[in-house]
Structure formats: C-alpha cells, structure tokens
Amino acid sequence: DGGITQSPKYLFRKEGQNVTLSCEQNLNHDAMYWYRQDPGQGLRLIYYSQIVNDFQKGDIAEGYSVSREKKESFPLTVTSAQKNPTAFYLCASSIDGDRGPTIGEAFFGQGTRLTVV
C-alpha cells in the first residue's frame, strides 16, 4: 500500500543532542514537508522540498536541518540550536512539486512526538 511513514513515533532527546526524524513515502510525490505542532497552535511549516536535492526554509526553520537525497526520503534533524524542540512533528507529501508549499492533495504521516528530557 502506498503511504507516508514517520519513525519513530516517540522520541526522547537529552538537551544538547541532535536527533533525526525519519520520513519516507512511496507515493512518488515530488514535494515533501515538515510541520511542527505545539499545544493551542496550528501546524507550522519548518522546511519543504519540491524536488530532490533542493529544499526551502519554512516559517520556523531555525535550529532544524533537512536533506533530500532521494525522492522517497526527507529526514529532519533537530539540532541542539533548537531552543524548544519538544513538540509533535508531522511530515507530509504531495504531488504538486512545482507550486511551492501548496500541499494540494496532501498525505500526512502519523507524526513523531519529540520530548526533551
């Protein structure tokens, strides 16, 4: 079955550590996105990628990094520079790779809940 998979579902990080969240899709979608959700807030865009080997900063990119070496994969690294990383992270993909973060018919993963301990 086609879909988008995020792992792990729960992640605990010590202060000062970098952690990487995985996002894989087998939908042959060009565009992929990372969002963050905090309590009482909507989803906020961290990074997006419209094509392999290219990605753009979203609204809250500071303290995060991404790579897009393969069409299927868009991992997100939460670095030690991210001051408040505890949040719920959602990855999404869509076929509209040439229209920026427009999402269109978007598919979402099930999310990763990151907690700093």
Partner 1 sequence: ILNVEQSPQSLHVQEGDSTNFTCSFPSSNFYALHWYRWETAKSPEALFVMTLNGDEKKKGRISATLNTKEGYSYLYIKGSQPEDSATYLCASTTGGYQKVTFGIGTKLQVIP
Which of 99, 81, 96, 92 is CA-nearest to residue 36? 92
Beta strands in 63-111 (DSSP E): 64-66, 76-78, 87-94, 107-108
Complex with partner 1: residue 4 or 76, whichever CB lies closer: 4
CB 7 to partner 1: min, Å: 13
Characterize the bridge pairing of strands 10-13 and 4-7: unpaired
CB 110 to partner 1: min, Å: 5
Complex with partner 1: residue 8 or 100, whichever CB lies closer: 100
CB 5 within 8 A of CB 92: no
Q: Which residues lie near partner 1 (CB under 8 A)?
A: 4, 35, 40-45, 90, 99-111
Complex with partner 1: residue 85 or 97, whichever CB lies closer: 97
CB 16 to partner 1: min, Å: 31
CB 51 to partner 1: min, Å: 15
- What residues contact 92, with CB distance under 8 A and at least 6 apart? 4, 32, 33, 35, 103, 106, 107, 108, 109
Complex with partner 1: residue 78 or 90, whichever CB lies closer: 90
